Structure 1
């Protein structure tokens, strides 16, 4: 079997043979499939397509499920597609696909490929779609396996299983991404210049200078470092100089505001936000609620169910009232694909929709976001994220956009083709996408620079992406330390990664052009990045200050008229 399939951009194709044998289960036996400590069998009672599906029974551990050995090549990405169905219901049950890699040192690895959260029998057949890179070292064996958990005794069926190499190498080039950037991030500027008699056109020069970028490039900011004027003010200065958006890293999270019931402190967050806004920086709110179990305060976990919902509503209303007029966005329930503590505690699977309704009613002017991981930097939850976004759109609860966190793996160069294809998948939801928490990790500064550039180019080139925020930049205030840093040390020395990033943001992706007037007075035409502009005119080497103009270039083309006279 040879497969050729392309994603929406046409930039990423699946070109290669099928690695899975008997993935449609149409033979008379479940050949090539087995199950660790359980039994797999063909079922003719229910299938996604064809006559059979594969079912597993006798499971007593969550990791048990249908499995098959496959051959993977080091340095290759693989696309996975399968259909799965839960056979009996238990709250909070997930279905996932993992890989197992065995090595000569006897230390196996079990990376996750894709996961469908909170599966129910009423969902019927759900599509598991993901991708994974082969390991950097060659395994002695590689096995794909399904699992369902956390309860082990739930049965599930699988069908139409496929693993195919993603032929991404060389498909997306810098030139192609630059073309997309030119298309989506620039508009035409036309400058019409007229002169009176006696003016030599060769002596007239027009300087078109972009002074501000409209596309959001921002960073997470530590309130502690910002408010204490860290590194003699260099931390603040770097933010004020190089970014136009920011997000409090921790200061607006509920545990930071109210670690103990009734003991609230908004001051660190507000002081920082006011400082940022005073320098023209827009601010995202992160986050109103966080459903990951370990990030829920102990005092909240001890609340009776009857008190929990009023307490959450009161918190959302209060924090949005305190920050009213200061924030552009709110992440409402952070990482809700991967944690459902509130839904589970209240036994209300759709409680997350209520949180959005509360927030939207409290302040309809703020744009509300989902925000999650493993949807771009990894593909574990990409398809699940689209399902979630569609659900929120259809519920009409005020959802504006999808936050994608983009924490790329240690010593992992972001694959521009993979990023583009995952963004294509997410864009099918029809919502704006923000890269809310971008970082890479590499010990070597030059490799780190390459990694940041690859991620930035792929994100900036995609038309659905509306903004990009780094999850920090300074080694002394970054959750991943120096290996992710753009600046380091008490003097905030710019690293090779920082120089590369700033070159992109402030040179390559800003417009600064000077044109001489032609003798025929033909209009000056150029493509300019969206943002604020100044137009300066010089005659015989001296600027004509009275002819200076300013304008804002958006998606529409813009014309400038200049009359040079003696």
Structure 2
């Protein structure tokens, strides 16, 4: 079965699983879950009970994280189960939630649902992360009890100790199903998204745009040594490198480690992509070896040179991340001192130094990163300082593309505050003469996956700026691997269809070198996940050209193929010739002379 058909089947099965009705059941909660929570305010968080309209429940517990927390259990909602639980009981948790996390890349609030022994060793029988967007969503989690517990020994808990966010939870049910109930017969929350249907309207437009913008006509004329046309020559045109950039960042310390166990990592980084970028090595602190000896300028430049010289497009990330915590230690020491005024010049010096050091191995740069939430330098020295940064980059990099980069744009609707802030910043830079040539969109996605049609509207909105666009940091941090694969396919397809998008970059591809391992394409043992198959199906099968044809009486033939570099092989009358060609959007005409 083709991947598209397989993913479609999985999608339909997942939707059916969510819609299954609950059989007769017994509640294990002695009272209302929300009513069992006590309003409170601490330096970390606020807990309150709020009214709800338009739902089957009238109250919800609302938590507001006033400061980031390091562990989900630092903010916990819990209700003790006053019923005994027996091993092999079929249990089911249902609740509704909505939330917002303005400083998270996904914009979604994070939560952790778990059922555990309510005393050391805190043995857990259910544990699952979830994410909540701005609209109420129902969540269903069936599971099997693995131990016997007496009444009062267990608790149903929500862990909400994450970054700054707001979360509302209501309609909580904790149920025991009749003996003989099968887990597969109970509703289970799949990760779905609007626009996932096989006949979704956005798909047709995307296919048409791909045909229009990502393909061209390669016209080949075959002649003999005297220049006469050669009819019936066999011509094969094989795409060897896409014009569109498919990329992943790499961990340079892992890539350069003298460890045979990492050979597969190095191999896959070269095999899967035609472009690359750095995860951390070009950020300012590691560039200055603030992160230890694994980060050295010489090693970083040598690694990027290896890719550049092999024909890979190389991205640099990032010249300025304008918060104190993202600056080298030596600059952080200047904060609040009389020497703080030296910081603007030190930033300009850094831009010129790293730009010059990487000029021949890096093709483009993120000059500034995440200005919406990282603006301490602008607050101190004025917004115009960003214009100075771009101008300094252009001085040292006269022909390189220079990008601005930010998060929670593609998963926010057009007209949102995130969009308005990003557009305002870019327009401010352009109006001030900053040589911005590209717009970067991070795409760290969670359980609330944006409608591809909405993503297209966002690209159209930012496309009016007339700049190049690319996704710079992609991953999907969810447990549902089938949904992860489906959305990877759809998201990449939508991006590939937009004429202003020049590339797509993952923020890692292997669990052993990934900031959010669930987002990787390959498990630690290098077993490919479904999203790896989705990626490979698009890049190496659906979006490939390898066609064979024959010339007509005039020695001419044509192949319509994806834009990029080609190997053109010609055979006729016992002679063969292989030449290289580059297929551009406007089309390419070439003459092959058989010798």
Aligned to 2:137, the other structure's residue is in SS state: coil
2:35 paired residue number: none
For the 8 Å contact 2:367–2:390, the answer to whether it is kept is yes
Task: Report the Cα offset of residue 109 of structure 1.
Answer: 4.3
> 1:456–1:517: structure 2 CA closer, same or farther, 3 Å change rule?
same
- Report the Cα distance in structure 2 between the residues aligned to 1:315 and 1:415, rounded to whole angstroms: 40
> 1:560–1:372: structure 2 CA closer, same or farther, 3 Å change rule?
same
2:99 paired residue number: 110
1:447 paired residue number: 483
2:389 paired residue number: 355
2:578 paired residue number: 548
Count of matched residue pairs: 422
- Report the Cα distance in structure 1 between the residues aligned to 2:361 and 2:354, rounded to whole angstroms: 11
The one-character-per-residue Cα deviations of 1:386-418 (angstroms, maximum 9, x if unpaired) are 2211111111121111111111114x4442111
Task: Report the Cα offset of residue 457 of structure 1.
Answer: 0.5
For the 8 Å contact 2:289–2:296, the answer to whether it is kept is no
For the 8 Å contact 1:353–1:392, the answer to whether it is kept is yes
For the 8 Å contact 1:400–1:432, the answer to whether it is kept is yes
Among 212, 222, 226, the alignment partner of 2:241 is 212
Structure 2: where are the runs of 5+ without partners? 1-45, 57-92, 105-132, 141-163, 165-193
> 1:232–1:265: structure 2 CA closer, same or farther, 3 Å change rule?
closer
For the 8 Å contact 1:168–1:417, the answer to whether it is kept is no
> 1:205–1:340: structure 2 CA closer, same or farther, 3 Å change rule?
same
- Report the Cα distance in structure 1 between the residues aligned to 2:436 and 2:353, rounded to whole angstroms: 20
1:21 paired residue number: none
TM-score by length of 1: 0.66
1:291 is aligned to 2:283: no
Task: Report the Cα offset of residue 347 of structure 1.
Answer: 4.0
1:233 is aligned to 2:263: yes
Among 290, 293, 300, the alignment partner of 1:269 is 300
- Give 1:118-137 correspondences, 5 Å limit: 134-137=135-138
- Report the Cα distance in structure 2 between the residues aligned to 1:313 and 1:200, rounded to whole angstroms: 60
Among 531, 553, 560, the alignment partner of 1:527 is 560
The one-character-per-residue Cα deviations of 1:482-530 (angstroms, maximum 9, x if unpaired) are x21112224x232221122112112211211112456x66953332111
> 1:172–1:362: structure 2 CA closer, same or farther, 3 Å change rule?
same
1:335 is aligned to 2:351: no
- Report the Cα distance in structure 2 between the residues aligned to 1:113 and 1:262, rounded to whole angstroms: 32
- Report the Cα distance in structure 2 between the residues aligned to 1:298 and 1:180, rounded to whole angstroms: 48
Task: Report the Cα offset of residue 421 of structure 1.
Answer: 0.9
Task: Report the Cα offset of residue 383 of structure 1.
Answer: 2.6
Task: Report the Cα offset of residue 71 of structure 1.
Answer: 5.1
1:474 is aligned to 2:510: yes
Task: Report the Cα offset of residue 333 of structure 1.
Answer: 1.8
Aligned to 2:138, the other structure's residue is in SS state: coil
1:487 paired residue number: 522
> 1:106–1:322: structure 2 CA closer, same or farther, 3 Å change rule?
same
1:510 paired residue number: 544
> 1:559–1:278: structure 2 CA closer, same or farther, 3 Å change rule?
closer
> 1:261–1:524: structure 2 CA closer, same or farther, 3 Å change rule?
closer
1:185 is aligned to 2:222: no
Task: Report the Cα offset of residue 559 of structure 1.
Answer: 2.4
Task: Report the Cα offset of residue 315 of structure 1.
Answer: 1.8
2:85 paired residue number: none
- Report the Cα distance in structure 2 between the residues aligned to 1:260 and 1:563, rounded to whole angstroms: 57
- Give 1:142-161 correspondences, 5 Å limit: none
For the 8 Å contact 1:171–1:417, the answer to whether it is kept is no
For the 8 Å contact 1:371–1:403, the answer to whether it is kept is yes
Task: Report the Cα offset of residue 220 of structure 1.
Answer: 0.5
- Report the Cα distance in structure 1 between the residues aligned to 2:560 and 2:55, rounded to whole angstroms: 45
> 1:363–1:539: structure 2 CA closer, same or farther, 3 Å change rule?
closer
1:432 paired residue number: 468
- Report the Cα distance in structure 1 between the residues aligned to 2:290 and 2:514, rounded to whole angstroms: 26
Task: Report the Cα offset of residue 279 of structure 1.
Answer: 2.6
2:459 paired residue number: 423
- Report the Cα distance in structure 2 between the residues aligned to 1:134 and 1:289, rounded to whole angstroms: 35
For the 8 Å contact 2:231–2:555, the answer to whether it is kept is no
Among 318, 339, 357, the alignment partner of 1:322 is 357
1:378 paired residue number: 412
> 1:353–1:70: structure 2 CA closer, same or farther, 3 Å change rule?
farther
- Report the Cα distance in structure 2 between the residues aligned to 1:261 and 1:220, rounded to whole angstroms: 18
> 1:106–1:276: structure 2 CA closer, same or farther, 3 Å change rule?
same
- Report the Cα distance in structure 1 between the residues aligned to 2:383 and 2:460, rounded to whole angstroms: 28
Aligned to 1:451, the other structure's residue is in SS state: helix
Task: Indicate the larger mover: 169-178 or 420-429.
Answer: 169-178
> 1:261–1:300: structure 2 CA closer, same or farther, 3 Å change rule?
farther
For the 8 Å contact 1:188–1:528, the answer to whether it is kept is yes
TM-score by length of 2: 0.63
Aligned to 1:250, the other structure's residue is in SS state: coil
- Report the Cα distance in structure 1 between the residues aligned to 2:255 and 2:557, rounded to whole angstroms: 44
Aligned to 1:365, the other structure's residue is in SS state: coil
1:389 paired residue number: 426
Aligned to 1:526, the other structure's residue is in SS state: strand
- Report the Cα distance in structure 2 between the residues aligned to 1:557 and 1:241, rounded to whole angstroms: 27
- Report the Cα distance in structure 1 between the residues aligned to 2:551 and 2:485, rounded to whole angstroms: 39
> 1:435–1:363: structure 2 CA closer, same or farther, 3 Å change rule?
same
- Report the Cα distance in structure 2 between the residues aligned to 1:400 and 1:343, rounded to whole angstroms: 21
